[in-house]
Amino acid sequence: MDLNLIMYLIPSLIMFGCGVYGFITRKNMIAILISLELMLNSVDINFVVFNRYLFPAQQEGMFFTLFAIAIAAAETAVAIAIIINVYRAAKNVDINQITKMKF
Amino acid sequence: MEIFSNMLIYFVIIPVLTLAGLALTKNKGIDAIRAVAVTGATALVGLAVYLVVYFLHARAAGDTSDMILQTSVMWYEPLNIKLALGVDGVSVVMILLSAFIVFAGVFASWKMDPLPKQFFLWFFLLSTGVFGFFISVDLFTMFMFYEVALIPMYLLIGVWGSGNKNYSAMKLTLMLMGGSAFLMLGIIGIYFHSTSTPGEYTMNLLDIAKNNAIPHNWQMFLFPMTFVGFGVLGAMFPFHTWSPDGHASAPTAVSMLHAGVLMKLGGYGCFRIAIYLMPFAAQQLGWIFLTLTGISIVYGAFSACVQTDLKYINAYSSVSHCGMVLFAILMFNSTAMTGAVLQMLSHGLMTALFFALIGMIYGRTHTRDIREMGGLMHIMPYLGVGYVIAGFASLGLPGLSGFVAEMTIFVGSFEHTDMFHRVFTIAATTSIVITAVYILRVVGKLLYGAVQDEHHRSLTDADATERISTATLIIAVAIIGCFPNFFINIIRDSFTPVVQALTSVM
Amino acid sequence: MPLSSTIYVLAIPLFMFLFLGLVGVKMPRKITGVIGVLGMAVTTVWAYAIAFTYFFGNGEGQMLDGVRQQVVATDWTWLSFYADKLVVKLGVLIDPISAMMLVVISTVSFMVHLYSLGYMSDHDGNPEKGFQRYYADLALFTFSMLGLVVSTNIFQMFIFFEMVGVSSYLLIGFYYGQQPANHASKKAFIVTRLADLFFLIGILILSFYTKTFDFKEIMGANGHDVCNAFTSAQGLTFMGCSVTAWALTFIFIGGAGKSAMYPLHIWLPDAMEGPTPVSALIHAATMVVAGVFLVARMFPLYVLEQGAMDIICVVGAFTAFYAAAVACTQSDIKRALAFSTISQIAFMMTSLAVSSANGKLLGGHEAGLGYMASMFHLFTHAMFKALLFLCAGAIIHAVHSNENSKMHGLHKFMPITSIAFLIGCLAIAGIPPFAGFFSKDEILVACYEKGIGWGLWMSMVAGMTAFYMFRIYYLIFFWKKHEVHGEHAPKDQPWTMTVPLIVLAIISCVAGFAPFGKLVTWDGAQLETHMNWPIAGASVGIALIGIGLATMMYWKENPLPDKLATMFKGLWTASYKRFYMDELYQFITHKIIFQSISKPIAWFDRTIIDGFFNLLGNVTNSASFGIRKMQSGNVQGYVSYYIIGAVLLAAVTGVVILCF
Amino acid sequence: MDYSQFLMMPQEIGLLVVFLLVFLYDTFMPSKSHKGLPLFATIVFGLFTIYSFLPVPDGSAFGDMFESNKATWAMKNILNIGMFIVLLQSIKWTNSDFVAIRRGEFFELMLLTLFGMYLMISGRHFLVFVIGLETASLPLATLVAFEKKYYESHEAAAKYVLTAVFSSAIMLLGLSFVYGITGTLYFNEIASSVQGNKSLLLIVALAFLISGVGYKLSFVPFHLWTADVYQGAPTMVTSYLSVISKGSAAFAFFVILVQVFGAAYAPVWEWMLYAVIVITITVGNLFAIRQRNLKRFLAFSSISQAGYIMLGVIAANAEGMASMMYYILVYIFSNLAAFGVIAVIERKTGKVTTDDYNGLFKTNPWLAFVMMLAMFSLGGIPPFAGFFSKFFIFMGACSTGSVAIYVLVFIALVNTIISLYYYLLVVKAMFIRQDECVIPAFKSHWSEKAGLWICSLGIILIGIVSCIYTGISNITNSDAMSTMFSMIQQ
């Protein structure tokens, strides 16, 4: 049997959902960052499969994906840097601890 | 710039120059500050008087246009917003009134402390707004000046006020701004229905009235917006509650200017914008607001009967008198409307006089509670007599302004062909008795009888500046009361277009 | 003297008011008094000249084949409600009654001015504090009263009604330092103001239908052919009665307020707190007859509205009796005189009202007799009541008290005053040949013409009048020997005060012979009057009976009055307490108006309306407090809101768009 | 490849030049002369600002990926002005001890983010748009973390970066759906291909897209990062966040909604926007009432201001666009004035709460005066610019003529009363309230003074001088733009 569009979309959406779920539930910021990566990558998958299955004529989706990956990498870098800073300042990376500013 | 060849623009320029002059003065140089302020106020009075003369000449020369001294300069091209000036009889007398009250107000706040400079800055910013409102015939500029006149009240009350001033200032500002929120929507709505040919929208109310293109269903929606918007400032029941607190907390000159001029913006706008531009809705919905204003006439008078704070008494009597203004405007005939304008004049002057005197008495006795004062006539006869005269003007003694105004209103209103309106008029007339009750109550408690507080015996009577301030107003009140026809001849013709518009939709 | 110069009769007092009020306060007191008197003297002479010119001169338009015409001397447009119609003019209308009133007012006013020079000074002749203000106010009142009587239109009359009200307020409250005067002035003003409200409403209704204020336009040039607008308006009805009846009744209420008709009379007795000369001028002679004058002025209209006429008739007759009954027991001589004033004015009202029945004048060739009689009585009463008050003033000035218990047996001490007072009493009691006899006789005749019942009733009141007047007289001057307090015994007052007494006394003696029927009639035509001997005799008899009773009870000290008082205790106290009218008013004003209307409204305003706007603010605040948890500070919370929001946005929109 | 296409983007190139100059200065100049870098950067940027007022050619480049027209030109200039004021005001601060070492990065990153915003404004392909968006937001995260010695700065940065990435992920998901449906990411091609089909998927995509951009514009409920980040970030960065990035995002948002989804989906996104605006204005105001920390307070006020800005978008016509751009301009001046005062006082005394400002007028009348101007302008009080911008944006919204919009405007108007309340609270603190520990009188640096002067003049003049609005309106009414609006079927 050959794989069709849906068989790619469903997992990627599940992946995205996992990312969201992870973001909301994880305590550790690194873990949250990982779930963010999940989300971004599921989006990349979307673009690729759409391009591959629906519009094979041009490579627009592919290129978009490349850029998206690059952006994701940059985001991760920045995020990591900031998390490290936070760790320096607060001595932990528990998301529930950095709620000084509220209301 | 042809705009500067128009005399009217100087009613805005003079206060602005005064502002500049004040800004240049030293914080401490009280004399310089006073000099600048007096100069500005005097210039305004002179210009206003000249305007009256000019107006009479123009009319005598057969200029029958609705508005004279019309100039219109494009301001915001894309929106067709112009800086349009023009005056008719009503605005002329209103300008005269404002000039007089600003003049008296400057003298009434002669010893203003602290920060006299800032006080006069805000004071003249306020008067800039007032004059600008009266001289402009473009909805946008009218609204702009209207708000310019409103906002200084906050600081004037907040900084220089007394009593529970923070609360009062905030309440006053928010309620009036709430009114202007209604107003803004109304004006925008009028703008977008100002003409039947799309893209030709205009803000010039004369053109709007000429086009007469506002659809009836929109009128039914926009008329209440604008009328309530101005009615809040006109202290219309039930939107009047800012007035007692505001007046009670405001410093003397501010109460004078606010009750004397600012509340007039409400009545003026009600007929100049709400009724003039939307006659159909006015005819349809008039009775609702007539009921409200009728209530506020009697209601205000009754509430004034039991107050013990002098300023509260006058605030409530203002509610009653201003209610009479709107009441008369809603009668839709030129006599009643003329009476309304006379009432604005009269109420403006006499309330200003009241507040001036109250301020002077308060400055001496440091209380406004009539239960703690008495027999002041023995101690400060000048102020006492002034107060009695103001009281007589307020309860409508012939020879003073109040009588003329109220009688014109009553006769005019009773000329209405509809029985409902006539019965309502009779209900309104009862206010003259209630007014007498609370005025005489105050006079009796405050001035007559034995001296309540022995410390008061050492107090002094009015000094020179206070005498100037009060005498100006008393003379003005007496002039209106003795020669009403002079003013009526200025005013009456201005209502012909409004009344025509109203009758055309009947 | 051309009639157009009448304007100066008004101008002089007005100028006096302004001059004394503004400049006078800086001048020595004595001078201002003298200036005031001189000014008033000029006014009086001028007024006499005008009256003489009108009655006996024959300028153009005054006489038209034996009928006196109304002459409009001046008419200045003061306030024009509409460009063409409904114009308020200030003018001068001279006709028999206004000319007569000019004489009355100027005479009494001049006497009072003169008298006050002495009265308003202490025994060493130094004027007291506020002397200038006193004379300024007197001048203001004189001006207002003169303006009232010469009004050319009903609105001018209303204006001057207000003016006299205010000047009376100022004069009653002359001693503003004392609470009673303060309250009395307030009461007087408010009660009359209430009446004026009805007057105003009446004017509104009348002008709405006739479209004019002008007397000549409503009642025709010669004052008795009424315009069609009015007659046609009689057809229209409002709540069962014709609108004109409403209008005229309201206008009468206005007059009743000033003329102290029951139940609006309560201000008058308290008004006695003012200086006595003021009481003589305002509350005996002039202002209180303004109501009568008003009705007389609009007499032709009232004749057409029998309903209004009947109301006046009943009110008048009852008031006459009521006031007389109260006067019988008062111990304060000024109050007693005040009630007698009320009673006498009621006489005038009644006699106006009885002179017509169902739309036509009564009495064949003597048509309008009541009208003439009423004006006649107005004239004579002004004179002798002023006399009585001035005498009372002299007495009070001498003994420093209003209570007749402080007086008794003053005859020896102040003979002139005593005689003058006696003349006054005889005049008011209607003993020939004094003035009161003639006028009252005419009134009674008119009453009998209306109906025997009216006649008898009024005759009884006339008898009571004689009784209470002589009661007062005896209690003041006889009853028992006067015990002298302090160093100096009471004596007749300086000439400034006695001269007016003498003059007025003489007038009271001779005024009755004035040919009133020839001069003052409702339509200007001459009216042949002749003594109706049976009625005259009867009334004199009744008067004598009254006097006799008084003599029996009060000539010498005896226990009879107390016996009677204890015998009819309830009645006596009720009458002494003026049948509790004041208490009733107290209840209405304080309990009902203040407690039950104003207080609740004030509360409602502060609590409900103001509360509502404060509530808006509080709701906003609490809302902002309620949603603050949204900003928990936790990123996970943030993104949950984010995702939920985004999904909701999609879902709701999808549902809305796709399903609708 | 035709390199002349680069001539279509003179402003971008100019900005890159500025960036390079600053970078080179930072890299190669001797470290003792670094003190002059802020001034150098500001001057160079000022020159660039003037230069970029030169007219640019209309047209598109790189296969319609990049478009340049009068509107984008005007918008970029507006941003330049704001950027210049921010740089001017931050001269003194960047030379202060703790940040002096990193002053170079500050300016470089700022300029980079501005470049990203240029791309957002001019991009006509979602790839360009996304790159621009990320370029504009990622450096900001580092800028937020700039105050190393403050813990709040780090917390704010963490919150910002996490939520930012999250939102961009959501938006990319939406974009992927759009791509899946239309098969292209060119604006005009999408517009032509979505004609007529109303699939639920596209609606979801639209909602995600709105949420993504709404994150930058801090719409409710995507706004929750705003307050914390504004409070924690260095004041200069906060002011930059609150005006510049918001303004650019608003413009880009307008273009996307009108040009891409205008044709068939106007009813859909207008409905969404309607709801979002109502919630945004109301919630923003309700939160603002209770704030005592001025930066946080202004954060919420800026949230509700974003709602007002969107009134211009929902009109979706030339008037709406004009009034929106005008509103952004006025908003830049007003908000920068407020933040300028806050920054000065914070730098001098470290005080940022309303109660610290009690009696400020007594000691520092001019600062108080400028702050009052800013508050009145934000509150929409004439004769200050804020009144005109508010009035015009309401007029722009109402120009569509639908009753629903009138209702929306009425809600907005009622909210202006609430907003006036809290703006007046600040005025009250400065003018009316008294306090024993008042902020002492001090002299502020000339650069800060200059910044405040520019802002005050702007607040006073932009309204009175009508030519500015007229110019903007002429641009949006030009034929070049009319094609964009012609797609909308109201």
Kindly state the tokens that stand for C218. Answer: 């409503």
The verdict on a CB contact (< 8 Å) between D322 and B78 is yes
Element containing residue D469 per DSSP (H, E): helix D467-476
User: D–B contact (≥3 CB pairs within 8 Å)?
Assistant: yes
pLDDT for C598: 84
Kindly state the tokens that stand for D364. Answer: 């520092």
User: B–A contact (≥3 CB pairs within 8 Å)?
Assistant: no
Length of chain B: 506
Give the closest-approach CA distance of C636 to chain A in angstroms. 5
Q: How confident is the model at residue D490 (pLDDT cuts 50, 70, 90)?
A: very low
Name beta bridge partners: C127: C121
The verdict on a CB contact (< 8 Å) between D163 and C657 is no
Cβ C539 vs Cβ C430: under 8 Å: yes
Helix axes of D200-217 and D262-289: crossing angle, nearest 10 degrees: 40
pLDDT for B505: 81
How many Å apart are CA B342 and CA B410, to the nearest integer?
A: 12
How many Å apart are CA C71 and CA C68, to the nearest integer?
A: 9
CB atoms under 10 Å from CB of D29, counted, come to: 14
Q: Find out whether the peptide bond into B251 is cis, omega within 30 degrees of 0.
A: no
pLDDT for D368: 92
**Radius of gyration over alpha carbons of chain A, in Å?**
17
Give the closest-approach CA distance of D245 to chain B in angstroms. 28
Using CB atoms, pick whichever of C633, C640, C643 lies closest to residue A102: C633
Helix (H, G, I), strand (E, B) or coil at D61: strand
| Amino acid (one-letter) located at C83 | A
Q: Which domains does chain A carry? A: 5-90 (1.10.287.3510)
Residue A8, chain D, CB below 8 Å: the answer is: no
Element containing residue C91 per DSSP (H, E): strand C87-94
Average per-residue pLDDT for chain D:
90
Could you tell me which residue, C141 or B451, shows the higher pLDDT? C141
Name beta bridge partners: B82: B74
pLDDT, tens only, D278-332? 999 999 999 999 899 999 999 999 999 999 999 999 988 888 999 999 999 999 9
How many Å apart are CA C17 and CA C24, to the nearest integer?
A: 9
Chain B residues 145-164 with a CB less than 8 Å from chain D: 145, 147-148, 151, 154-155, 158-159
Q: Which residue of C has its CA nearest to D170?
A: C643
Q: What's the start-to-end Cα distance of chain D, in Å?
A: 41
Q: What does the buried/exposed string (b/e) look like for D261-284 if buried means 16 or more CB atoms within 10 Å of the residue's CB? A: bbbbbbebbbbbbbebbbbbbbbb
pLDDT for C358: 67
How many Å apart are CA C270 and CA C181, to the nearest integer?
A: 8
pLDDT for C109: 92
Does position D487 have pLDDT exceeding 70, yes or no?
no
Give the closest-approach CA distance of C607 to chain A in angstroms. 33
What's the whole-number mean pLDDT along residues A69-81? Answer: 93
Closest Cα partner for C342 from C248, C265, C415?
Answer: C265
The verdict on a CB contact (< 8 Å) between D428 and B78 is no
Kindly state the tokens that stand for D5. Answer: 């296409």
pLDDT for D137: 92
pLDDT for B164: 86
Q: What does the buried/exposed string (b/e) look like for C168-180 if buried means 16 or more CB atoms within 10 Å of the residue's CB? A: bbbbbbbbbbeee
Using CB atoms, pick whichever of D141, D162, D232 lies closest to residue A32: D162
* CB < 8 Å to C646, chain A: none
How many Å apart are CA B189 and CA D399, to the nearest integer?
A: 9
Kindly state the tokens that stand for B427. Answer: 């209900």
Q: What's the pTM?
A: 0.91
Chain A residues 48-77 with a CB less than 8 Å from chain D: 50-51, 54-55, 60-61, 63-64, 67-68, 71, 74-75
The verdict on a CB contact (< 8 Å) between C197 and B411 is no
Residue that the structure tokens 């509205």 belong to: C305
Q: Determine the residue among C75, C76, C81 to mutate to test chain B binding: the one whose Cβ has the most chain B Cβ atoms within 10 Å.
A: C81
> What are the two backbone dihedrals, phi and then psi, of residue B187, each rounded to the nearest 5 degrees?
-65, -45
Longest dimension (CA), chain C: 117
Name beta bridge partners: A28: A94
Q: Which parts of C336-433 are beta strand (E)? A: 356-357, 360-361
Helix (H, G, I), strand (E, B) or coil at D276: helix
Residue that the structure tokens 């038209």 belong to: C64
Could you tell me which residue, C233 or B181, shows the higher pLDDT? B181
Helix (H, G, I), strand (E, B) or coil at B71: strand
Listed in sequence order, the residues at least 6 apart from C270 whose beta carbon sits closer than 8 Å to its beta carbon are C180, C183, C184, C187, C188
Cβ D191 vs Cβ D259: under 8 Å: yes
How many Å apart are CA B318 and CA C23, to the nearest integer?
A: 33
Q: How far is CA C390 from CA B367, C283, C382, in A?
A: 44, 12, 12
The Cα angle at residue B411 between residues B407 and B413, in degrees rounded to 5:
115
Sign of the CA dihedral with D225 first, then D226, D230, and D236 last: positive
Average per-residue pLDDT for chain B:
89
Q: How far is CA D311 from CA A65, B71, B187, C656, D415, in A?
A: 34, 34, 18, 22, 13
User: Chains C and D: how many Cβ contacts under 8 Å?
Assistant: 91
Cβ D279 vs Cβ D222: under 8 Å: no
DSSP string, C5-63: GHHHHHHHHHHHHHIIIIIGGGS-HHHHHHHHHHHHHHHHHHHHHHHHHHHH---TTTE
* CB < 8 Å to C189, chain B: 436, 440
- Look up residue B270 and give its DSSP letter: I
Cβ C38 vs Cβ C20: under 8 Å: no
Does position A1 have pLDDT exceeding 70, yes or no?
no
| Amino acid (one-letter) located at C620 | T
| Amino acid (one-letter) located at D311 | L
How many Å apart are CA D133 and CA B346, to the nearest integer?
A: 64
Kindly state the tokens that stand for D60. Answer: 């598109």
The verdict on a CB contact (< 8 Å) between B241 and C179 is no
Structural domain boundaries of chain D? 3-488
Element containing residue D376 per DSSP (H, E): helix D365-379
Closest Cα partner for D167 from D123, D238, D229?
Answer: D229
How many Å apart are CA C286 and CA C141, to the nearest integer?
A: 10
User: 3-state SS string over C119-147?
Assistant: HCECCCCCECCCHHHHHHHHHHHHHHHHH
Q: Which residue of D has its CA nearest to C652?
A: D272
pLDDT, tens only, D146-168? 988 888 999 999 999 999 999 99
> What are the two backbone dihedrals, phi and then psi, of residue C385, each rounded to the nearest 5 degrees?
-75, -35
How many Å apart are CA C130 and CA D301, to the nearest integer?
A: 66
pLDDT, tens only, B200-215? 888 888 888 888 888 8
Residue B185, chain D, CB below 8 Å: the answer is: yes
Cβ C516 vs Cβ C421: under 8 Å: no
Q: Determine the residue among A20, A24, A33 to mutate to test chain C binding: the one whose Cβ has the most chain C Cβ atoms within 10 Å.
A: A24
Listed in sequence order, the residues at least 6 apart from C293 whose beta carbon sits closer than 8 Å to its beta carbon are C97, C101, C148, C149, C255, C378
pLDDT for D1: 67
What's the whole-number mean pLDDT along residues B471-497? Answer: 88
Cβ B74 vs Cβ B55: under 8 Å: no
How many Å apart are CA B336 and CA B327, to the nearest integer?
A: 9
Residue D127, chain A, CB below 8 Å: the answer is: yes
How many Å apart are CA B293 and CA C451, to the nearest integer?
A: 51
For chain C, the residues whose C-beta falls within 8 A of a C-beta of chain A are 628, 631-636, 639-640, 643
Give the closest-approach CA distance of B51 to chain D in angstroms. 26
Residue that the structure tokens 């004109």 belong to: C244
Residue C182, chain B, CB below 8 Å: the answer is: yes
Q: Determine the residue among D176, D185, D193 to mutate to test chain A binding: the one whose Cβ has the most chain A Cβ atoms within 10 Å.
A: D176
Q: What's the start-to-end Cα distance of chain C, in Å?
A: 96
pLDDT, tens only, B129-160? 999 999 999 999 999 999 999 889 999 998 88
The verdict on a CB contact (< 8 Å) between B444 and C186 is yes
Residue C594, chain B, CB below 8 Å: the answer is: yes
pLDDT, tens only, B276-304? 999 999 998 989 999 999 999 999 999 99
Listed in sequence order, the residues at least 6 apart from C640 whose beta carbon sits closer than 8 Å to its beta carbon are A24
DSSP string, C199-222: HHHHHHHHHHHHS--BHHHHH-TT
pLDDT for B226: 93
Element containing residue B84 per DSSP (H, E): strand B81-87
Q: Which residue of C has its CA nearest to A101?
A: C633
pLDDT average per 10 residues of sequence, chain C (660 residues): 83 90 84 89 91 80 74 84 80 87 91 87 78 89 92 91 91 87 88 92 89 83 72 78 88 90 86 87 87 88 86 91 86 87 90 78 70 88 90 84 76 83 88 84 84 86 88 82 67 79 87 79 73 80 87 77 76 75 78 82 87 89 89 90 92 81
Kindly state the tokens that stand for C260. Answer: 């102290």
Cβ D122 vs Cβ D68: under 8 Å: yes
The verdict on a CB contact (< 8 Å) between B485 and C166 is no
For chain C, the residues whose C-beta falls within 8 A of a C-beta of chain D are 620-621, 623-625, 627-628, 630-631, 633, 635, 637-639, 641-647, 649-650, 652-654, 656-658
